[in-house]
A = this chain, B = another copy of it.
Amino acid sequence: MKCELISVGTELLVGDTLNTNVQYLSRELSLLGIRVYFHTTVGDNPNRLEEAVRIAFNRSDLIITTGGLGPTQDDLTKEVIAKLFKRELIQDEKTKEDLLQYFANREFTMTPNNLKQTFIPETAEILFNPCGTAPGILLKEQGRVIIMLPGPPREMTRVFEDAVLPLLKQDNQQLVISRYYNLSDIGESATEDRLLDLIDAQVNPTIATYAKMGEVLVRITANGRDENEVNTLLDHYQEIMLSRFKENIFSFSKESLQETVCKLLLEKRISVATAESCTGGLIASQLTEYPGISMVFGTGLVTYSNEAKINLLGVKKETLDTYGAVSAETAREMCENLQKISQSMLSVSVTGIAGPEGGSEKKPVGLVYIGVCFNELTDVYHYHFNGERKVVQQKTANKVFHLIRKTIVDKSK
């Protein structure tokens, strides 16, 4: 099946909005084995929109439009397509009820122009939109399918998932399943390198890697006639993944490293405390993004200055004078003293040079010491991270989460 995506909206053509909708839809459709051959973007202009739909209709079996279904005068998608394919717009009673209910639920007053959204081209199917006022619309014409979705990404994805995906899957003879492997402590190119034989030869399953800072997500997608066939293919690749990335896989889902670590801390009831210099609170703030983390996290210190390291953490002035604030000795004292202060089972400390200033030949920008104290035993690690200030801070935080996980997995058996 050949598919074309048409995005409607002048905000896209003047660069006010980044078009994330086409990426989402392209990925979802590809996973179903549907080939997307063109993306077209047009503004809120009836003639150019009609031209785009006409061109797409001549070369594609499935056309999905996003945007232009709203209540205002410049929302034209439905009107243009109805006119092109000679359909009347007829008010749909159920959609009108849904709309009135939507406003009643939110205690908003409905303006009259909203009623425009209750008019649907005759013979079309309505795709219910639980997050907004404009429903999606499915129209069949000369063996081709035209699907109109609302433009706001939250509404678009919801209508697609709830109403479009089941229809497309039904048409699809193939079963498609993906498995995810989330890796830390390895870069994307190193990951690819270790998978190169499989990537070069890939047909089914296919392999895709996605890099986030400090994490690499590997997606392995297989298709086949039934679950058994698909899972046999995937099981074989799973063995390979486990043998090649044993140390790196921290989750079998899209869950981030931070989420995985927070879950682990909560599950094992391991209390944690942080003392940060160069990351300045980033680690604590990533911990506290996780709901319920207060069960195990109570104390975080940002000891950015030497005075704070001495006064709050009791680091010896002598240590700072002899070895410097950025040293293994300071990192060790920071996390050992933190453990006493916070009474946490696990404590971590970070001291480093995030840059751009403050580096020297002996201690360059990017040098970071990380202390991890668990069960009265302290390990101090050091790294040299490349990148600008924010990147060094982010990479350090990621490494800390990696080390917390590793420490718990290795030592809390």
Contacts and interface: CB of A to CB of B under 8 A. Distances in A.
A303 B307 contact: no
Contacts of A305: 294, 297-299
A382 interface: no
Contact of A285 (B26, B208, B280): B280
Contacts of A291: 355-357, 389
A204 to B, nearest CB: 15
As for how many copies of this chain the complex holds, the number is: 2
Contacts of A25: 15
B281 A16 contact: no
B294 A298 contact: no
A227 interface: no
Given A39-B39, A40-B38, A312 B285 contact: no
B304 A390 contact: no
Interface stretch (A41-49, A109-117, A246-254, A403-411): A41-49
Interface string A270-288: 0000101011111111011
B282 A285 contact: yes
A408 B266 CA distance: 41
Q: Which of A294, A297, A390, A393 counts the most chain B CB atoms within 10 A?
A: A294
A358 to B, nearest CB: 8
B39 A12 contact: yes
Interface residues of A, number: 74
Nearest to A206: B14
B17 A19 contact: no
A302 interface: yes
A323 interface: no
Contacts of A36: 13-14
Given A288-B279, A289-B389, A305-B299, A27 B41 contact: no
A291 B354 CA distance: 9
Contact of A299 (B37, B42, B303): B303
A1 to B, nearest CB: 14
24 contacts: A7-B39, A12-B39, A13-B26, A13-B36, A13-B39, A14-B30, A15-B27, A15-B28, A19-B19, A19-B23, A22-B41, A37-B42, A281-B281, A281-B283, A281-B284, A281-B288, A281-B300, A282-B285, A284-B284, A288-B302, A291-B357, A292-B357, A301-B312, A312-B341
Which 6 interchain pairs have the tightest Cβ spacing? A280-B288, A15-B27, A300-B302, A298-B305, A281-B284, A281-B281
